[in-house]
Structure 1
Amino acid sequence: MTAISDHDAYIAAAPESFRATLARLRELLAQALPQADEVVMYNMPGFKIGGLVVASYAAFSKQCGVYFLPSAISQHSEEIAAAGFKATKTGITFTPRKPLPDDLVRRLARTACAAALTSQV
């Protein structure tokens, strides 16, 4: 992908098979983070509260990823594993055929938001 200016451009430039998944992630994150501003940082669409990007998402050649503050991932590590996914310190990758459950995305986003608002990053 080339440099992008906004979320719409990012999703439009992604492989067609990933676009619906990316659009759904954007929708879920926007709903869970109504006070956040949509931004593009490091050529990835994200959601910023104050000075922190609390959530972002990306498409790669064979998978998608969603990224949160480390505290959100660590607080939900058991749920992530129980859903059959592996997480790094800040993110979870998955395929469009097996997306993250909507409720888990919402919980991760809300936890990241709470951490940002209370400076518990």
Structure 2
Amino acid sequence: MVDLYGGTPPAHDECEVFYVQVDERSDSVTLGFETRKLPSHPSPEWQERPYNRIEFCLFFTDSKDLRVDGWTRSEAQSFSITAVPEEGFTVVLGHGRSGLRFSAAAVEVVGIRAYLASDAP
């Protein structure tokens, strides 16, 4: 992801959460994001066709302390991912007392793709 953006990936406010999957069998959580910020160093295959969106997933492993207190579009619009030295990451989707929270030991970027989306409302 960093290579695609020349060292500066999309900022927090340039991404939207569109997907959440909790897999209790492997203690993992996958969050899907979409951004309109196009990469400065796109993959060669992307340059062959038009696109205006990038989609990627963050795959969190060894997740724990999962708590879900309501889930609506409102909670999906507010998120934070904080690196905690020697512990991993703390993830919060939502605001106040509503939303989804968990911690994870590691995270990996997976499923990066470019596509053309309509700007229709």
TM over 0.5: no
The structure in which a higher percent of residues are helix is 1
The structure in which a higher percent of residues are strand is 2
TM-score, normalization: structure 2?
0.25
